[in-house]
Structure 1
Amino acid sequence: MFEQFDLDQALLGAINNIGFKKPTSIQQLVVPEAMTGKDVLASAPTGTGKTAAFLLPAAQHLLDYPRTKPGFPRVLVLTPTRELALQIHEDAEKLTALTKIKSGVITGGVNYGSHKEILTSTTDILVATPGRLMEYIENEQFDAREIEILIIDEADRMLDMGFAESIDRIVGEARWRKQTMLFSATLSGAGVIKFSKEVLTDPVFLESNPSRKEKAKIHQWLHLADSFDHKVNLLLNILRQEDVKRAVVFANKRETVQYLSGKLYAEELPCAWLEGKMPQDKRMNAVDRLKDAKVNIMVATDVAARGLDIDDITHVINFDMPRKADIYLHRIGRTGRAGNKGTAISLVEAHDMPVIAKIERFVDERLPRRVIEELRPKNKEARIPQKKAKVKKSAAQKKAKAKKQAKRSKKK
């Protein structure tokens, strides 16, 4: 139970109001260690309660050591995408609803004037994307010297997106902080480990091993495709299946997202779409339409792979395969959340096979190949042999081998 963490009654009340029953494995690991003030390096899959694991100790610190004068934020959470920043801010407001702790969010893609109140009035917890926050620091509109706790979320993705320099500078600006926590879905890359050594001091390393209920089960398989048009037909067939209640379709390019969303509407499959250069209000509207079930399909580039936090997505479909195996893991993490089962389906052309091999090594399992009979691939490279064909071929080989052996015996 959450009472074991010696949290303030106001935080326990909010936890109860939200409906959390008992801590997840990552919360059980992180909260006690973080509340001692230690630096934390933590690895946990998405959808396992990671956000509350760092917000609860941060909020408890603010309650234990109340602010004595107005000023800039004392807790800073850095995150790679606008969507994820907004989600964390929403969670922070829910968890601190019964306290006087004030939260704010700063991201790119919105009018600079919308951040005026955060920059000029007292805010306790700030959630921000690195680029826009760095602009305010450079313009001397934001002072990082008051930050006591720095939390870097989705560190692996942050580095992939090229934020390393901005984060380094923000870390330097907040050098008087008392505690730093760094969270990453994967610690397989050398970059995250190297980065953690630069920003953390004698950290405790915590790696979550979620329970079966938390981890859920994501069923993964792939369909081999002959061409782009073949993939489109496979996608339409899958999205019309009865068990597909709410789906996210990933594509690599903005142009593909726009084409697919138009195609789905033409086929009477209404959808929302999300890509990097959309204005913030349109992005938020797209996410809200999916959350509110006004549409049940979202077509997106990888901008949504980390920021889309909806518990009941039943299917993730990779229309295009990601270029890196860890991005595949982040994509499929949009389903199978909060103990629910999920399905991840990849549509694969011949040129995608090298990345499939990398993904299979990364997840340590072979992705089953499945066929929709009326859309069976025609190209030899993509065709999945039928069992009968294998048996016939094997029998023919055995017969030929027997004939050769018989001829050799006669010669002798």
Structure 2
Amino acid sequence: MFEQLELHADLCNALGDMGFTAPTSIQSSVIPKAMEGRDILASAPTGTGKTAAFLLPAAQFLLDFPREYHGATRILILSPTRELAIQTYEHALEITQHTNIVCGVITGGINYGTDRDTLAKNLDILVATPGRLFEHIEKESFDCRDIEVMILDEADRMLDMGFRSIVNQIASEARWRKQSMLFSATLEGPGIAQFSKDLLVNPESITVDPSRKEKAKIHQWYHLADDASHKYQLLKHILSEQAESAIVFVKTRERLQQLKDRLASDDIDVCWLQGEMPQDKRNQAMSRFKNGEVKILLATDVAARGIDVDDISHVINFDMPRTSDVYLHRIGRTGRAGAKGTAISIVEAHDFAMLGRIARYIKEVIKPRVIDELRPKHKAPTIKKPKKSTLKKNTKKGGKKSSGPKKKGRGKNITSRKQDNG
């Protein structure tokens, strides 16, 4: 029970309204340490309640130490993408619904007048994307001096997107803070190690293996396609006959537009999400998908993280991702919080090298399936099965690790004023 974590009754009541009765593994591990004021370095799989793990102790801090005077933001949460920032903000509103805590969000793609209205409020919690927030810091329209807790969500994604320097500079501006928390899908690699060294002080390192109930139950398989036409027919069959709700991933904006138009010509209603899309259009697409008005969302990899929608039955890789970790981020949109999900890859012969790399990365064999009326005419190339002995050998001291991409680059000094693009 959440009451056993010594959370305020108003927060427990909000969790009850949200349908949550007991904390997940990551919440049970993080919340007590965070409420002690410790810096936190935490890792947990997607869909295991990570957002509440940092929102609840942050809200508890504000209730324990209420604001004595009007001032600037006290809790800053940095999110790598617009979608994740907005969803974290919405989650914060739900958790604080029975309190007087004031929450706000600013992201790229929104006009600056809206930002000014948000920042003019007596904000307790601000969720922001790093690039837009840093613009306000440079323009002196945001004051970091009152920040008491800084939280970085999906820190590995921030590194991938080139936000290290900006985040370090924001942290430098908020150097009077009392606590920092860093959450990442993985704690492996020198990138995260240096990031945490730059930002955290004697952190409590928490890596959680979720319970069987919390673990994602994602069934994965692939369909072999002879050519582009066959590939589309397989997709149409899956969307029409199997998927209750689905995210379909493609690799480029151009591919998305082509697929969107083709599905529309077959009277299949879709919404879509892609890079360089106006924020109001993004919000509209996500709203239509989340409320069930449209059952199919087409997305490029800009949306592989940050989509937190209940009951997504299928993730479909119409185009295979460029890397194995992106594959994991994609399929993590289904099978959330212990629910069952399905991840289907529709592959042509040239995709099999990537399929093999993914199998070795996730240490699972991805098996083929066949739709009777759409059987491929050609045989599939052979995929090498991941060998347990090889995996053990590769993880020995001095050997190359078998899983996880290499992190590039080293951390920059926290006082660096050089700004990354991205």
Cα deviation, residue 379, structure 1 = 4.3
Identical aligned pairs, as a percentage?
Answer: 59
Q: Deviations over 1:101-120 (max 9, x none)?
A: 10000000111100112222
Corresponding residue number in structure 1 for 2:313: 314
Separation of aligned partners in 2, 1:93 and 1:47: 19
Contact map agreement 1:105 1:127 (CA 8 A) in 2 = yes
Contact map agreement 1:224 1:382 (CA 8 A) in 2 = no
Consecutive unaligned residues in structure 1, runs of 5 or more: 385-412
Separation of aligned partners in 2, 1:168 and 1:353: 40
Matches within 5 A, 1:365-404: 365-379=364-378, 382=381
Corresponding residue number in structure 1 for 2:196: 196
**Residue identity opposite 1:102 in structure 2:** V
Separation of aligned partners in 1, 2:380 and 2:2: 54
Matches within 5 A, 1:219-298: 219-241=219-241, 243-298=242-297
Contact map agreement 2:352 2:381 (CA 8 A) in 1 = no
> Which of the two has greater helix per residue?
1
Cα deviation, residue 249, structure 1 = 0.1
Corresponding residue number in structure 2 for 1:391: none
Contact map agreement 1:44 1:207 (CA 8 A) in 2 = yes
Q: Deviations over 1:265-296 (max 9, x none)?
A: 11121111110111111111111111121111
**Residue identity opposite 1:23 in structure 2:** P
Change (3 A) 1:188 1:323: farther
Change (3 A) 1:193 1:359: farther
CA-based RMSD of the aligned residues comes to 1.5
Contact map agreement 1:225 1:382 (CA 8 A) in 2 = no
Determine helix, strand or coil for the equivalent of 1:133: helix
Corresponding residue number in structure 1 for 2:92: 92
Corresponding residue number in structure 1 for 2:81: 81
Q: Deviations over 1:225-257 (max 9, x none)?
A: 23333321221121111x310000001101111
Cα deviation, residue 156, structure 1 = 1.0
Determine helix, strand or coil for the equivalent of 1:72: coil
Separation of aligned partners in 2, 1:269 and 1:121: 43
Separation of aligned partners in 2, 1:382 and 1:247: 28
Cα deviation, residue 315, structure 1 = 0.1
Cα deviation, residue 79, structure 1 = 0.5
Aligned residue pairs: how many?
383
Contact map agreement 1:224 1:383 (CA 8 A) in 2 = no
Matches within 5 A, 1:11-410: 11-241=11-241, 243-379=242-378, 382=381
Determine helix, strand or coil for the equivalent of 1:215: coil
Separation of aligned partners in 1, 2:291 and 2:332: 20
Determine helix, strand or coil for the equivalent of 2:305: helix
Separation of aligned partners in 2, 1:72 and 1:35: 22
Separation of aligned partners in 2, 1:285 and 1:90: 15
Separation of aligned partners in 1, 2:63 and 2:228: 56
Contact map agreement 1:226 1:382 (CA 8 A) in 2 = no
Determine helix, strand or coil for the equivalent of 1:240: helix
Determine helix, strand or coil for the equivalent of 2:55: helix
Cα deviation, residue 382, structure 1 = 4.7
Separation of aligned partners in 1, 2:339 and 2:20: 16
Q: Deviations over 1:286-330 (max 9, x none)?
A: 111111211110000112211211110000001111111111111
TM-score, with structure 2 as normaliser: 0.88
Larger Rg belongs to? 1
Contact map agreement 1:105 1:128 (CA 8 A) in 2 = yes
Consecutive unaligned residues in structure 2, runs of 5 or more: 384-422
TM-score, with structure 1 as normaliser: 0.90
Separation of aligned partners in 2, 1:31 and 1:162: 29
